[in-house]
């Protein structure tokens, strides 16, 4: 029914996915995942876990990854607006340490696929945001790694809002830089 438009990013493996949205006077309908459509687009993925979070304006979650059990993630926003980022941690990649960011919102309904081998994070730009993502592997406590959100070696251009204080978890305040991080 659906069909998707897949835009490949400059960093190999990253994709922005736009589903077909059916609007009428009642509202809208969108197919957020259809295995056949994804396979036809060259994304042959198997998801094993769905997660959802709610965060308030200024929350920055990340940059996270799992070391021994890396996850591919298909992320989207159900309510609100975020700036979503992936950083290439694949040791043999010509884009190692490079980042890509995309705005995801309930309005634009874009999704972002981040394959294994990347760190991931997002910044909430709206009053609140509900964020949902499908994972290709299960979460394994104790296997998580991370990179400082503001590592100058990576140089992410976060769209920080004037007058909005960043809210980070204690864990996210302690991550080291790219030179100290795990490589896939």
| CA dihedral of residues 61, 85, 99, 112 (deg, nearest 10) | 150
C-alpha 27 chain-centroid distance: 27
Catalytic residue among 64, 65, 81, 120: 64
Strands (E), the chain: 4-8, 15-19, 21-24, 27-30, 49-56, 60-66, 73-79, 81-88, 99-105, 111-114, 118-124, 128-135, 144-146
Alpha helices by DSSP H, the chain: 35-40, 170-174
Q: Determine whether 81 is an active site residue.
A: no
Catalytic residue among 65, 81, 113, 133: 133
Q: Determine whether 69 is an active site residue.
A: no
H helix or E strand, kind and range, residue 41: none
Q: Which residues does the annotation mark as catalytic?
A: 64, 133
């Amino acid at each position: 029914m659906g069909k998707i438009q897949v835009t490949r990013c400059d960093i190999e493996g990253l994709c922005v996915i736009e589903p077909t949205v059916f609007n009428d006077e009642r509202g809208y309908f969108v197919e957020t995942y259809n295995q056949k459509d994804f396979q036809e687009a060259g994304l042959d993925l198997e998801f094993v876990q769905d997660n959802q979070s709610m965060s308030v304006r200024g929350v920055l979650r990340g940059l996270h990854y799992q070391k021994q059990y890396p996850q591919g993630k298909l992320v989207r926003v159900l309510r609100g607006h975020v700036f979503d980022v992936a950083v290439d941690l694949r040791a043999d990649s010509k884009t190692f340490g490079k980042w890509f960011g995309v705005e995801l919102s309930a309005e634009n309904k874009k999704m972002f696929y981040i394959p294994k081998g990347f760190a991931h994070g997002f910044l909430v730009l709206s009053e609140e945001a509900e964020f949902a993502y499908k994972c290709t592997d299960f979460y394994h406590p104790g296997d998580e790694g991370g990179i400082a959100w503001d590592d100058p070696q990576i140089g992410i251009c976060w769209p920080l809002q004037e007058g909005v204080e960043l809210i980070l978890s204690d864990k996210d305040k302690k991550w080291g830089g790219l030179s100290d991080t795990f490589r896939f």
